[in-house]
């Protein structure tokens, strides 16, 4: 059994769609709780235009805080999303060593999200990823809208595989498929990841599912069955892409971890810490959030004695 990695994207994907800007001090306290839970990677933010996504304006501050000289090194890695060369330069300037970057398989979504066509974005992202790797950073490249698009509908698998092929040709083997619009179904997930693993057995595959239509956790299980080892999630089911037609939150981290623990995996992650973080997010935002386990608690046999 390969190690399952939990990549908490709440501080980035979870907050980017929120209208009220979360104070930096609140984010720091929240990230400390997430680190304490035992998740493997925390995505602190994205280096994007703060006028378009004001929630991400303090990403540099967060990285400088959590990677400050003299600070005890966290067991968790810290990742950042970048969309262009300027974002990559900003990331390097504040010490980022784990970059996530991607290309949408939907041309319409690509233009709304980045202002570039899919082909334009693919050329730029591939070059950026190769540069970041050459400079010693860990790089995960993704295919966004891999299972469907709110503007274009179903995305043909060949469109996804073309992008994956370009990544592989460039020597990029950490590859994520992102269900940006939440259109994926479990059979589709197994088929597409299975095809990729047959094409390139050395791929370290990751998944990123939104729960727009209630299938995110089922899709995570399908991805697990297909050999995926890294799972993006956000505490309490926060999040959603601001540049898709119908936006839904991410699979909730506490729900995903609860499922894994029911499968006798990742008992090292503190589910109580995750549920506490989810409840704090609800309190701060002043509304119920879509995750389940922070409301119901775990099934009785997993409850602390």
Active site residues: 241
Distance CA 138, CA 255 (A): 27
For residues 253 and 8, is the Cβ–Cβ distance under 8 A? yes
Closest among 195, 184, 244 to 220, alpha carbons compared: 184
Q: What's phi and psi for 274, nearest 5 deg? A: -65, -45
For residues 85 and 124, is the Cβ–Cβ distance under 8 A? yes
For residues 298 and 271, is the Cβ–Cβ distance under 8 A? yes
Q: Which helix (H) or strand (E) element contains residue 143? A: strand 138-144
Buried b vs exposed e over 239-254: b needs ≥16 C-beta within 10 Å? bbbebbeebbbbbbbb
For residues 270 and 293, is the Cβ–Cβ distance under 8 A? no
Contacts of 115-120 with CB under 8 Å at 24 or more apart are: 118/159, 118/163
The alpha helices in the chain, defined as continuous H runs, are: 24-37, 59-66, 85-93, 107-114, 118-134, 157-169, 186-199, 216-225, 253-262, 271-285, 293-296
């Amino acid at each position: 059994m390969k190690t399952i990695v939990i990549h908490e994207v709440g501080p980035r994907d979870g907050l980017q769609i929120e209208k009220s800007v979360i104070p930096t001090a609140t984010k720091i306290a929240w990230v400390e709780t997430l680190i304490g839970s035992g998740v493997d990677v925390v995505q602190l933010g994205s280096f994007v235009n703060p006028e378009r996504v004001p929630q991400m304006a303090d990403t540099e501050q967060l990285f400088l805080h959590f990677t400050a000289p003299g600070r005890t090194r966290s067991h968790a890695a810290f990742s950042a999303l970048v969309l262009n060369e300027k974002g990559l330069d900003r990331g390097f300037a504040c010490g980022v060593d784990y970059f996530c970057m991607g290309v949408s398989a939907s041309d319409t979504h690509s233009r709304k999200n980045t202002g570039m066509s899919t082909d334009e974005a693919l050329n730029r992202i591939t070059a950026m990823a190769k540069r970041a790797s050459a400079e010693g950073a860990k790089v995960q490249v993704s295919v966004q809208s891999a299972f469907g698009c709110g503007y274009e509908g179903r995305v043909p698998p060949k469109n996804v595989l073309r992008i994956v092929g370009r990544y592989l040709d460039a020597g990029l083997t950490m590859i994520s498929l992102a269900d940006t619009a939440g259109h994926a179904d479990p059979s589709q997930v197994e088929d597409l990841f299975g095809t990729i693993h047959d094409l390139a057995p050395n791929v370290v595959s990751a998944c990123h599912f939104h729960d727009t239509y209630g299938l995110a956790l089922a899709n995570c299980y399908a991805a697990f069955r297909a050999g995926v080892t890294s799972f993006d999630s956000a505490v309490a089911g926060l999040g959603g892409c601001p540049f898709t037609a119908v936006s839904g939150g991410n699979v909730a981290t506490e729900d995903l971890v609860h499922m894994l623990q029911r499968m006798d995996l990742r008992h090292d992650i503190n589910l109580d810490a995750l549920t506490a973080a989810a409840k704090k997010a609800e309190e701060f935002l002043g509304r119920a959030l879509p995750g389940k386990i922070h409301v119901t608690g775990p099934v009785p046999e997993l409850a602390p004695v």
